[in-house]
Amino acid sequence: MPEAPGLWPYALAVYARPGVAEVCLEAQDAHGADVPLLLWGAWAAARGRTLTQDDMAAARGLAHHWREPIIAPLRQVRRALKALPADALRQAVKAAELEAERLYLAALEDLARDWPDAPAAPQGLRDNLARLLPPDAAPVTERLHKALS
């Protein structure tokens, strides 16, 4: 079995696919989804991993350290700067936000170091997304599944 790409290259590649970014941002803004976690869940499924309760608990622990105290404030500042004539500052904040997400994804990838190799399972993607999104986000979950498939 060929070695799966690391999480960061995978995340960049799938996020660039048509429709993926839009649905991820909708899930984030409308349902409080954690986009790096969604991409991690998709990557896990591509590696044949259906996320377990232990996987989810470990990921939530990392999210606690990265999402609210670091990534969310950077995103808030970046979005606020859109209304101001401060493009250079906005770009610097955007770069810091992206670097924080890269480091967060690296920590999430580290959770997979002991996962056994397995072929991708089509149902795994749907299951992982359903675990990472709230039940009221079912239409978004389905659109994201379609965009990532």
The tens digit of pLDDT for each residue in 74-105 reads 999 999 999 999 999 999 999 999 999 999 99
Q: Judge whether 73 lies within some domain.
A: yes
Nearest to 59 by CA among 108, 101, 103: 108
Q: Judge whether 76 lies within some domain.
A: yes
Could you tell me the two tokens for 75?
A: 């995103």
CA distances from 94 to 28, 59, 81, 109 (A): 17, 24, 10, 22
Number of domains in the chain: 1
Q: Judge whether 38 lies within some domain.
A: yes
Q: Judge whether 1 lies within some domain.
A: no
Separation CA 115–CA 125 (nearest Å): 16
Q: Is the pTM of this model over 0.85?
A: yes
- pLDDT per position as a tens digit, 136-149: 999 999 999 999 98
Please give the residue range of the domain that contains residue 12. Answer: 7-112+119-148
Q: Judge whether 2 lies within some domain.
A: no
pLDDT band, residue 120 (cuts 50/70/90): confident
- pLDDT per position as a tens digit, 3-41: 567 999 999 999 999 999 999 999 999 999 999 999 999
Separation CA 124–CA 48 (nearest Å): 7
Q: Judge whether 11 lies within some domain.
A: yes
CB-based contact 59:40 (threshold 8 Å): yes
